[in-house]
Chains A and B, each alone.
Chain A
Amino acid sequence: MGGLDDLYQQLILDHYRNRRGRGRIDGASASVHEHNPVCGDECYLDILVQDGRITEIRADGDGCSISQAAASMLTEVAEGKDLDEALALVEHFRLVMHGEADPDEDLLGDAVALEGVAKYPVRVKCALLSWLALRDCIADYRETVATGG
């Protein structure tokens, strides 16, 4: 079952069974709610920003093992990053998922285990759901700050 083991590495199943960074943040600096129209999976993402840095990040929602593990890995690796670093991280992950970049393990942390998802186009959206939610969340935050809201 080589193909399946490639996709579902133990690290992914571990993050799926023991979600990190799950939940919501009271008084979050920005929040987004996104869903995958293909399967109906939902992702709520909250960030707390202090001095241009993500001091707390939580992801909630329901979905498949890939989407839930990806969200769990995201919260681990994005916490503590400043906003530009976080955007660069998301962009790198997006390129890896589309097979357009080799994964940088130092940057991605456990999320490097998701590399195999790139071979399953239908599942790439699952992996990207929470990560692109972070990109939108940062954009929302910056817009709110810019408009003084």
Chain B
Amino acid sequence: MGNSAQHTLDAQALRAEFPILASPRPGGGQVHYLDSAATSQKPQRVLDAMDAYYRETNANVHRGVYEMAAEATERFEAGRDAVARLVNHPREATVFTKNATEAINLVAWAWGARELGEGDEVLVTMMEHHSNTVPWQIVASMTGAQVRFCPVTPGGEIDMDAMRSMIGARTRMVAVVHVSNTLGTINPVEEIVAMAHDAGALTMVDATQSVPHMPVDAAAIGSDFLAFTGHKMCGPTGIGVLAASPERLEAMEPFLGGGEMISDVTTEGSTWNDIPWKFEAGTPPIAEAVGLGEAVRFLEDVGMQNVRAHEKDIAARMLEALDEVPGLTLFGPRDVERRGASMSFSLDGVHPHDIGQFLDSKGVCVRAGHHCTKPLMRYLGVQSTARASAYLYTTDDDIIALRDALIECREWFGAA
């Protein structure tokens, strides 16, 4: 590929670090895992870090006076340091949640349910994942606020003229996805955040599909809230991150109440712990934070610039390969500068579920469905799409296997 010499990522070599990718699939042959937008595979060193935590120093974090508890706390908080460093954000405003969905719900409930009222507007886009739509709909129905949807252009990008005209005096929150999980579009979030702030609105950036795949600088984006999840960035499931403005977190009431998040509890009431712990009620996902910390160190060793450069190459390869499949329609931008390597498509005459099933028989793992973006599906005029999504371990072989299986699939179902 054209500019592969400009970066130093060797995807084939990296595969050796991922047990699932390094071992042959049942029945032989290589697994072509093209569903990393759903969840990434995990490198051995992340599994080892979690395993070591449980084997060597399993204890509950904070407050324990014995050595093991102190060690557990240190490894847990080191996970927070790593995550905060990766996205250039203050550690005290980096809150661990269950996943990105919970991070967004935290804001919807702790801020939205208290602050929104009749006539207020939450502006989202037509390409949001349900996780950045449904929480706002729930609090809107409680508060009398309205959720509005900014349209998407036929090319699969946010209609910025519409965005400009829809942000107004009533807008209290602009919630926007950084990279679309369905279309792959990279959205100009810095510009949107600035527009929202000019109008006095807060901002939530869903960075679930950007943080794993490219350098993300939370300070440069400048949003009040930024959410992402661990399991799509080589880390474990069960842990997500809310990187928020420290001032917002200080001003907000807690989301969930319980242990750890309090300063004092009396029969008359309670006061809250310092941030970020004020928003981390109960025993946190300790092993998961340890694993996510190791995932961040793995990504730092690879280099996020290199990950992005590799995925640009792979996206260009995918575009070429998909163009060679007769009857295929791609949704989303074609310019690799404006998109990630997650691509949704339809195949004339073959249902996405049948595509997914057929490709599975060839060892090619893709997703079929609405990708938790049903408003977007309706907007595109389809019920579902098939989606292939790449990551740092995706190779040309994977893309060729995808192309060949799609061509064969269409013939097999008699659509050719």
Contacting pair B383 A62 (CB below 8 A): yes
Contacting pair B361 A39 (CB below 8 A): no
How many B residues are at the interface, by size bracket? 10 to 19
For residue A120, which residues in chain B have a CB less than 8 angstroms away from its CB?
A: 357
Partner of B377 from A38, A40, A65 at Cβ < 8 Å: A40
Contacting pair A64 B354 (CB below 8 A): yes
Contacting pair A42 B414 (CB below 8 A): no
- The residue in B369, B370, B383 that gathers the most chain A C-beta atoms within 10 A of its C-beta is B383
Partner of B358 from A4, A38, A41, A42 at Cβ < 8 Å: A4
A13 within 8 A of B: yes
Partner of B384 from A8, A13, A40 at Cβ < 8 Å: A40
Q: Mark A13-46, 1 if CB is under 8 A from B, else 0.
A: 1001100000000000000000000111110000
B351 within 8 A of A: yes
Contacting pair A1 B384 (CB below 8 A): no
For residue A4, which residues in chain B have a CB less than 8 angstroms away from its CB?
A: 357-358, 361
CB-CB nearest in chain A for B349: A17
Contacting pair A40 B370 (CB below 8 A): yes
A7 within 8 A of B: yes
Contacting pair B361 A64 (CB below 8 A): no
Partner of B354 from A3, A17, A42, A65 at Cβ < 8 Å: A65
CB-CB nearest in chain B for A62: B383
CB-CB nearest in chain B for A126: B353
The smallest C-beta distance from B381 to any residue of chain A, in angstroms, reads 12
B352 within 8 A of A: yes
A63 within 8 A of B: yes
The smallest C-beta distance from B214 to any residue of chain A, in angstroms, reads 30
The smallest C-beta distance from B31 to any residue of chain A, in angstroms, reads 16
Given known contacts A17-B414, A39-B368, is B377 in contact with A3 (CB within 8 Å)?
no
B15 within 8 A of A: no
B379 within 8 A of A: no
Contacting pair A65 B351 (CB below 8 A): yes
CA distance A64 to B276 in the complex (A): 47
A142 within 8 A of B: no
Contacting pair A39 B369 (CB below 8 A): yes
Contacting pair A64 B353 (CB below 8 A): yes
Q: Mark B356-397, 1 if CB is under 8 A from A, else 0.
A: 011001000000111000100100000110000000000000
Contacting pair B374 A40 (CB below 8 A): yes
CA distance A105 to B351 in the complex (A): 28
B54 within 8 A of A: no
The smallest C-beta distance from B134 to any residue of chain A, in angstroms, reads 14
A16-B413, A41-B383 known; 10 new pairs, CB 8 Å cut-off, are A7-B357, A8-B357, A8-B412, A39-B370, A40-B369, A40-B377, A40-B384, A64-B351, A66-B354, A126-B353
Closest 4 CB pairs of A and B: A64-B351, A40-B383, A64-B353, A4-B361
